[in-house]
């Protein structure tokens, strides 16, 4: 059977669905074969069961439908579509067990409306499955990245988004939402792709987040060229989403100030990140291999007057001037708490008036 229009339609559908030609051919062959098989099952004469294979020739615009049977031993029980070896040799002298023997070519006029509908259903399902698999593979490559998404539905326990360019559904649970952030259907937001999973129905689901600490990490990597190039290294990030983030950075080049690189000219880089996080406070501090200096830096924006450490217990007392004690501790202890998480040291913040040692200089470490 020849049909230029048929193959032209396939080309158009291929471009619209963005599925490669081989996948189309496999799906169409499978669908048409299933249709012929169903037709044959309803109308076959006894003992006339056979298998069907479809061959599509794009170059010649030909569709060939072939009936065949599988060769089995003479003493083996025949199933539908089987032929014993002795009978097969009458068709093809060189036939052997396991071969597929073509019995005839099926003419296209035998392809009924019912069979055509069956083929269409099978092809559609196969193509949908192929499309899902293709998108799933594409999204696998996006895991750990920040992508734009459109908010489609808001429920008490989750926000559902559509990942732009893939049309895949993303789910942002309560723990992945920034506290205090308002979401509206139709808004376009940036989300961090945490992981992909398949539902019980086989559909791919994308778990996304704006509260994940890696969301902030990716924002810095995208905004600060020195981080992307490896000159500035992010050592650690701790975060209480919606309130405050602390990020420790270092430089592999002594000529590059890691904190300054993250802040950017006139604060342009850090301001862009803070804006994306809707005003969340971000403390960029310089990492140090010296625990005393690192702990002092971690309490930023407060300045430590004196740091005393107990190496064995990984604990430290940090003394600050009395008038900035509340700044050092932070609201509900947040600043001190995040500093402890950042350094992995237990930190006890004390007013300088309780210190028995009088620091030299201006009282700053």
Confidence of residue 128 (pLDDT cuts 50, 70, 90): confident
Higher pLDDT, 111 or 301: 301
354 pLDDT more than 50: yes
Mind listing the pLDDT tens digit for each residue in 285-318? 999 999 999 999 999 999 999 999 998 899 999 9
46 pLDDT more than 50: no
> Taking each helix axis from N to C terminus, what angle separates 291-298 and 334-343, rounded to the nearest 10 degrees?
150
pLDDT of residue 243: 95
Task: For Cα atoms 164, 168, 172, give the angle at the middle one, nearest 5 degrees.
Answer: 90
197 pLDDT more than 60: yes
The rounded radius of gyration (Å) of the Cα atoms in the chain is: 34
Mind listing the pLDDT tens digit for each residue in 54-88? 777 777 777 777 778 888 888 887 777 788 888 88
Q: For the chain, which domains are there?
A: 4-138 (3.30.1480.10), 144-209 (2.40.50.140), 212-287 (3.30.300.20), 288-365 (3.30.300.20)
Confidence of residue 2 (pLDDT cuts 50, 70, 90): very low
């Amino acid at each position: 059977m020849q049909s230029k229009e048929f193959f032209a339609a396939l080309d158009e559908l291929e471009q619209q669905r963005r599925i490669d030609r081989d996948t189309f051919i496999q799906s169409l062959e499978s669908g048409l074969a299933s249709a012929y098989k169903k037709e044959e099952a309803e109308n076959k004469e006894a003992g006339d069961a056979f298998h069907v294979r479809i061959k599509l020739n794009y170059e010649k615009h030909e569709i060939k439908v072939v009936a065949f049977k599988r060769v089995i031993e003479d003493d083996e029980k025949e199933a539908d579509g089987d032929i014993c070896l002795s009978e097969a040799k009458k068709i093809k002298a060189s036939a052997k067990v396991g071969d597929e023997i073509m019995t005839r070519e099926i003419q296209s006029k035998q392809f009924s409306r019912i069979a055509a509908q069956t083929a269409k259903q099978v092809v559609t399902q196969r193509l949908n499955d192929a499309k899902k698999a293709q998108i799933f593979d594409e999204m696998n490559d996006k895991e750990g990245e920040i992508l734009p998404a459109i908010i489609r539905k808001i429920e008490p326990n989750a926000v559902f988004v559509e990942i732009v360019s893939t049309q895949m559904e993303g789910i942002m649970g309560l723990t992945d939402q920034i506290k205090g952030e308002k979401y509206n259907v139709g808004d376009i937001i940036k989300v961090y792709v945490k992981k992909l999973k398949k539902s019980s129905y086989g559909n791919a689901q994308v778990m996304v987040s704006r509260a994940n600490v890696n969301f902030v990490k990716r924002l810095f990597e995208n905004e600060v060229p020195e981080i992307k190039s490896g000159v500035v290294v992010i050592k650690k990030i701790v975060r209480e989403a919606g309130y405050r983030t602390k990020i420790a950075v270092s430089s592999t080049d002594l000529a590059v100030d890691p904190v300054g690189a993250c802040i950017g000219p006139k604060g342009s880089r850090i301001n862009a990140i803070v804006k994306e996080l809707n005003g969340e406070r971000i403390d960029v501090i310089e990492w140090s291999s010296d625990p005393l200096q690192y702990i002092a830096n971690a309490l930023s924006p407060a300045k430590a007057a004196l740091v005393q450490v107990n190496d064995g217990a990984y604990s430290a007392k940090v003394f600050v001037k009395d008038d900035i004690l509340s700044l050092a501790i932070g609201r509900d202890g947040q600043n001190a708490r995040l500093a402890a998480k950042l350094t992995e040291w237990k930190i006890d913040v004390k007013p300088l008036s309780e210190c028995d040692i009088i620091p030299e200089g201006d009282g700053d470490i």
